[in-house]
Chain A
Amino acid sequence: MTPVLTVESLRVEIPVKSGLPRAVRGVDLAIGAGETHGLVGESGSGKSLTALGIMGLLPPRARRSAARLRLGEVDLLALGERAMEDVRGDRIAMIFQEPMTSLNPAFTVGAQLSETLRRHRKVTRGEAIARAAGMLARVGISSPRTRLAQYPHQLSGGLRQRVMIAMALLCEPKLLIADEPTTALDVTVQAQILRLLAELQRAMGLAILLITHDLSVVARVAQRVSVMYAGEIVETGEVADVFARPMHPYTRGLMSAVPVPGKVRRGAPLGTIAGVVPSLIGDIDGCAFRARCPSAHDACLRPPPVRGAGATRSYRCHLLPEVAEARP
């Protein structure tokens, strides 16, 4: 079956005064219908630029290239800006950490939802309002008609998040890109929003690209995960497999840094990753993680190979699987 999203060798470069940072350096992704793919990494790893690159929403001076960028059978690389506008909000939608990124403070919820729908579908204003109300009810908002008449600032953070999700899903997209969708929310609301997304995903057969720095969220909702570092995917695989046996030293480092009640001994020092993220300006020789890696050796001066570890698993490192796995 053709994946909903196919990305091959996606690159993003954003020229700045001091040089040319290679922010995304050859990312591959494939996400099927009904699947959630977690993209994790720390600030500056390039995960949000990967998303914006897929959406065609990069800043004007950014340069994007890819060997392949497809939504189902549609070649997104061949689409002009006008055609891409038709795709965005219709077949691909995106939600953000901050709902006000997508909501306009000057218009009511109803006006924004019905506009989105009328932009992509031939429906009357009355039909659009009815479908907007229906969608608000689907995302668990009580008395949707009242909410339609309200402005975003009159809603709580959790409600705004739901309205943003409703707006994104109004045209029943094939792919939803969720960039830190629950990071700003309380844990109780986070759980509710994640359950809601999972329910809607099942009902609509949505493919979700879930971008987050929160390993716990990925562990709980995604089927596959890719770990990004310095613009590259350094490890990818089934969630259960990657969490049980992280192969890349960076993945291992990230996982040991998370305090887990009942698993990590209270007060024991947490794992850390020494050093800082490298500059992406100019060429990176060898492995980008080399300077911070506890297992770095001479070979790491050369670009690391992508190694397979089972059919659905790969990582970008000089260490052989049996060696990588044996590391603490």
Chain B
Amino acid sequence: MTRTQAVAPILEARELARSFHVGQGMFAAPKTITAVDGVSLSLRPGEVLGIVGESGCGKTTLARMLLGLIPPSAGEARIDGRPIHTLGGRERARLIQPVFQDPYSSLNPRRRIRDIVALPLVAQRGFRAREIDRKVAAMLERVGLAPELGERLPAQLSGGQRQRVAIARALVAEPKVVICDEPTSALDVSVQAQILNLLDDLRRDLGLSYVLISHNLAVVEHLASRVAVMYLGRIVEEAPVEALFAAPRHPYTRALLASVLTPEPGLGIPDVGLGTTLPDPTNVPAGCRFHPRCPQVMETCRSVPPPRLVAAQDSVECHLFA
């Protein structure tokens, strides 16, 4: 049987949205924050989808919904064809696992490393103790940790070693998708390079798919196959990584790429031309939500939400291309 269509996505989101109510103090009325507002994306097996954007753009809320940690207010996320919110915790954990930014707070400080890594297997039940020992030992070796480190506590490990533990824990139950939320932001450059190399090797060897959330565009460029740019809860542009970096279309993507600093002396600091107003999720502007910062703002942008223009490989949400 030949397949003419593209491979089915392993992870898919349709019009995902999530809002929060936040108190403003004792007498003020509570406000609603729409952290994620109509996000659709799909991740094919073996792919790395990078998600970039500034703090407060909704990256982490999106990640939490994809992991089934919080339910969406609207829309649906599916993994392996099944709605994530209908899956039990155990089933979900077998399909999708997180690696978080901070290897200091994401590991239980009172448990030995080998117990931390074994936990997903123990939670799955049905594994014999000996089998768990074997899998844990193999996984520790795979992520480059010496077997004797398994007997230590997290506090006895360096930052890079702890992030390896977090990766081992995520992968020990053989999930299909890993959500990496700023996996190297807390690490030194030389350690970051080791962890990025490791993540890429593991993806190739184990046939994994990643959603890679990062504010570091150089890291995303290095590992991702496609990139989605988020701004105040929406994906404003999505494209294959080469296209996005070579020819960014949305003015926000262009500004974001312009602000990336590379270790090239003499180039100075770019003027990204975004002004000093920062995006505020409690106060999303009318029309295009980027218009107060946009260097190419037009009259329509102030009142009319921009259309999403979808092509085979990419999409962009901006009046300039309508």
Binding site for B on A (CB under 8 A): 42-43, 140, 142, 156-158, 186-192, 194-195, 198, 213-221, 239-240, 243-244, 253-264, 266-267, 269-273, 276
Given that A186-B55, A216-B263, A266-B241 are known contacts, is A191 also in contact with B197, CB under 8 Å in the complex?
A: no
Q: Which residue in A140, A221, A243, A259 is a CB contact (below 8 Å) of B222?
A: A259
Kindly specify which of B75-83, B108-116, B252-260 makes contact with the partner chain.
B252-260
Question: Do the beta carbons of B276 and A270 come within 8 Å of each other?
Answer: no
Kindly specify which of B12-20, B130-138, B186-194 makes contact with the partner chain.
B186-194
A311 to chain B, nearest CB (A): 18
A188-B272, A267-B223 are known contacts; what are 7 more A-B pairs with Cβ within 8 Å? A190-B261, A191-B272, A219-B263, A258-B218, A267-B222, A270-B193, A270-B197
Binding site for A on B (CB under 8 A): 54-55, 158-159, 188-194, 196-197, 200, 215, 217-219, 221-223, 241-242, 245, 255-256, 258-272, 274, 276, 278
A199 to chain B, nearest CB (A): 10
Question: Do the beta carbons of B261 and A191 come within 8 Å of each other?
Answer: yes
Q: Which residue in B189, B245, B269 is a CB contact (below 8 Å) of A220?
A: B269
26 pairs, A vs B, C-beta closer than 8 Å: A42-B189, A43-B159, A158-B276, A158-B278, A186-B54, A187-B256, A187-B260, A189-B54, A189-B278, A190-B259, A191-B259, A213-B189, A214-B189, A216-B262, A218-B263, A219-B264, A219-B267, A243-B265, A253-B190, A255-B263, A257-B192, A258-B218, A259-B196, A259-B218, A266-B241, A269-B200
Q: Which residue in A220, A256, A273 is a CB contact (below 8 Å) of B268?
A: A220
B39 to chain A, nearest CB (A): 20
Question: Do the beta carbons of B217 and A261 come within 8 Å of each other?
Answer: yes
Chain A residues whose CB sits within 8 angstroms of the CB of B223 once the complex forms: 267
Closest to B161 in A: A276
Question: Do the beta carbons of B221 and A266 come within 8 Å of each other?
Answer: yes
Chain B residues whose CB sits within 8 angstroms of the CB of A218 once the complex forms: 263
B280 to chain A, nearest CB (A): 8
A87 to chain B, nearest CB (A): 30
CA distance A264 to B263 in the complex (A): 12
Closest to A265 in B: B222
Question: Do the beta carbons of B215 and A260 come within 8 Å of each other?
Answer: no
Question: Do the beta carbons of B272 and A257 come within 8 Å of each other?
Answer: no
Question: Do the beta carbons of A254 and B190 come within 8 Å of each other?
Answer: yes
Q: Which residue in A43, A221, A259 is a CB contact (below 8 Å) of B188?
A: A43
Chain B residues whose CB sits within 8 angstroms of the CB of A158 once the complex forms: 276, 278
Chain A residues whose CB sits within 8 angstroms of the CB of B262 once the complex forms: 216, 219, 260-261, 263
Chain B residues whose CB sits within 8 angstroms of the CB of A188 once the complex forms: 54, 255-256, 259, 272, 274
CA distance A264 to B197 in the complex (A): 13
Question: Do the beta carbons of A191 and B269 come within 8 Å of each other?
Answer: yes
CA distance A190 to B271 in the complex (A): 11
B202 to chain A, nearest CB (A): 13
Chain A residues whose CB sits within 8 angstroms of the CB of B193 once the complex forms: 256-259, 270-272
CA distance A258 to B188 in the complex (A): 10
Closest to B257 in A: A261
